Amino acid sequence: MARPMVVVHGGAGAWRGLDVDIGVVARVLRDAVSVGLDVARSGDCIDMVVEVIAFLEDSGLFNAGVGSVLDYSGGVSMDAGLMDSSGRAGAVAAVTYPRNPIRLARIVMERTPHIIMAGVKADELASRLGLERHPGPHPRALERWRSLKSRVPESAWIAKRVEAARALGYDTVGAVVVDSRGCLAAGSSTGGVALKLPGRVGDSCIPGAGFYANDRVAVSATGIGETIIMSMSSLRVAQFYEAIGVLRVAVERVVEEHTRRWGPGTLGLIALSHRGEVEASYNTEAMPWAYASLGEEPRVGGLPQG
């Protein structure tokens, strides 16, 4: 029997200029870990990762679910995905209907023959199956959108969008877990990059990029989605871990490799191995994260300084 564990993150970045109490962020991350460990008493790894991420989506503190940032036109669209060590995966992209995109991703995994469903038809599926509807832009996200939009010239929006993403971070939530049977699972959920073009899809719905799990390791990524997709960062961790056998080295090597190629401010990773190794690494100023095993008090790291 394995000892259930949960690791979560709240997004890599600088966490500057955000109207968020970092003490509250730390508390919510601890609570998310506790939620997952409570689920572990009667549920499996998929139950754990879904409930942890849904809790973070509902918090409104993070750029996922209720707290999702707005695109350039002022709309909310979300991506989410999950995978377990048996090779099952499911994801949704550019959805607007569900309050909890991670719950719809689970439905795609368990009740359809597909891996990713996107846009209007995925929203229709969520509606038909009675998932709770997204309440619309969070007041904090709306105020942030107004502020960013007022500072971004139409002709230079792409450069400014990337600049804003690097400076603020706050772009994804994710979790990696192991249950009592040794099943590993990973998942991610996001509202995307602030001021993105409507229709943009990031890494959080792409297995191997925003999340990955096999029978040895589970990984969740956060950062600039375009660079994570091009690097397949979560899969790279699994590949290095297979070759090296030391999770810390595997995670740090992927971050170093990513930084050389794409520069700083682009990637954060959390990872959990079948041996219970827990690692986190990032090339941003901060990446709030937390972890614990069943019976332990959650510990928090990666908080912004100053």
Q: List, by residue number, the catalytic residues.
A: 172
User: From residue 261, how far is each of 69, 136, 209, 253 by CA, in Å?
Assistant: 27, 37, 16, 12
Of 60, 257, 225, whose CA–CA distance to 140 is shortest? 60
Task: Report the side by side order of strands in the sheet with 278-282.
Answer: 211-213, 217-223, 267-273, 278-282
Phi-psi sector, 14: left (phi>0), alpha (psi -120 to 50), beta: alpha
Mode of pairing for the β-strands spanning 173-178 and 89-95: unpaired
Q: Report the distance separating Cα 292 and Cα 288, nearest Å.
A: 14
Q: Report the distance separating Cα 138 and Cα 110, nearest Å.
A: 30
Residues across the chain: 306
Element spanning 226, H or E? helix 225-231
Q: Report the distance separating Cα 61 and Cα 140, nearest Å.
A: 9
